[in-house]
Structures are given as C-alpha cells and as structure tokens.
Amino acid sequence: MYEFYLLDIDNTLLNFDAAEIRSFRKLLESYHISYEEELFRHYKKINKNFWNLLEQGKVDKETVLIGRFKELFAYLGLEADPSEAEKRFQNHLSDSDDKMPHAEETLLQLKSEGKKIYSASNGVYNTQIKRLKAAGLFQYFEGMFVSEKIGYEKPDKSFFDHCFKKIKDFDKSKTIMVGDSLTSDIQGACNSGIDSCLYTPKGSSTSSKATHTINDLRELLSL
C-alpha cells in the first residue's frame, strides 16, 4: 500500500483552468483590453509552448513567466512591461480557490488513514501556497515541493531526488506521484523510479507509462 503521496496541484487538486481564464480576463481589464475567446486561445498556445520548453530544460522559469506576456504584447502591438503583467497575473491567480471535484474529501480521508501527503508542482511557490490556503487544503500537507524553490522542474529526476531526501523515513516502493500531466508528472515518476497515477477527469488521456489511471480523485483511496 502507498504511504507517501506526491500530488500535483494544477488541474489535479485545484482547478487551474477556471483560475487561469478568470485571471486572464482581469489582466486584460487592467490594460483596457476586451476579452475575446480567440485571444485567450492564442495566449494558451504561447503559454503551452513556453512550458514545454521548460520541461525540456531549454529555458528557465523566468523566461516562461515573462516571455509569455512579452510575446502576447508583441502580438497585440501593445507597449507594456511584461514583468508587471506577470505580477498582476500572479496576484489574480493567488486569489483563486477553485477546487477539483472531491479534492478535499480525498485529502481528508488520506490524512485520516495516516498517509503522508506532499505537493509536487512546477508552479510559482507563493502563488501555489496562497491558492492552497484559500481553498482550505494547505493543512493536509506534510510538505510543499515547488520547482521554483527546488531549482529543478518536473520531469527532471533531480526534482524528485530533492523530494525524496526531504521526506522522513522515505520508502520509494511505497510512494506514488499523482497528476494530470503525461509529460511532467507521469514522465517524472518514470524518470525517478516511483509508481504514478494519471488523473484524467474528462477521461481524455491514457498512458502505458502510468501505473494507474483514474477519472475521480476518490479512486486514490482504493489503489
């Protein structure tokens, strides 16, 4: 049975999709730009490309966070400071408390069974902590592993090696990585030699690399 749970945050415990679109709307409002679905899709494409480069180790986190808005502003023909836009965007994200279905009840049950729960996220540290607190989930964790503090990104093996060293009485055979991303969560688990669980609430993803696949977080309780 698993004793140590490394849990991704975005779109695993917290609904990042909902938080992202709301924060993007507010960001545009601050620049007096009207929100359009096409513009949001263009931003998502830019953002995804940057995060893919980060996972491949081709750029650093700052390049991702600033570069996405620099490219967006160039597309809009807007002269604005991308660093300031990133600060505004993170502030909006920090206020988001949208949870994924059954996230809290699952964490509560795991905690009551004596499981050790840790976050394992590629996000911005302060933003992730604030969001977990706003959602009422922070108290369920034994520790917080966020790439910005660690210095490595999932799926880099070094990210997981850091986590393993910090977990008391760690046992790799009793550890599982849970997340929605094939490229960071599942691949990272493979790279580090631990079991994995792909969370796919819409039932849209499968992977032969994942040890388990679930569509409902409550399924974690029966693994």
β strands within the chain, DSSP E: 4-7, 116-121, 143-146, 175-179, 195-199, 212-214
Residues β-bridged to residue 117: 5
Q: Is 8 a catalytic residue?
A: yes
Give the three-class secondary structure for 176: strand
Q: How far apart are CA 102 and CA 107, in angstroms?
A: 9
Q: Peptide bond preceding 155: is omega within 30 degrees of 0, i.e. cis?
A: yes
Q: How many CB atoms lie within 10 A of CB 41?
A: 10
Q: How far apart are CA 153 and CA 160, in angstroms?
A: 9
Catalytic residue, chosen from 8, 10, 156, 180, is 8
Residues labelled catalytic: 8
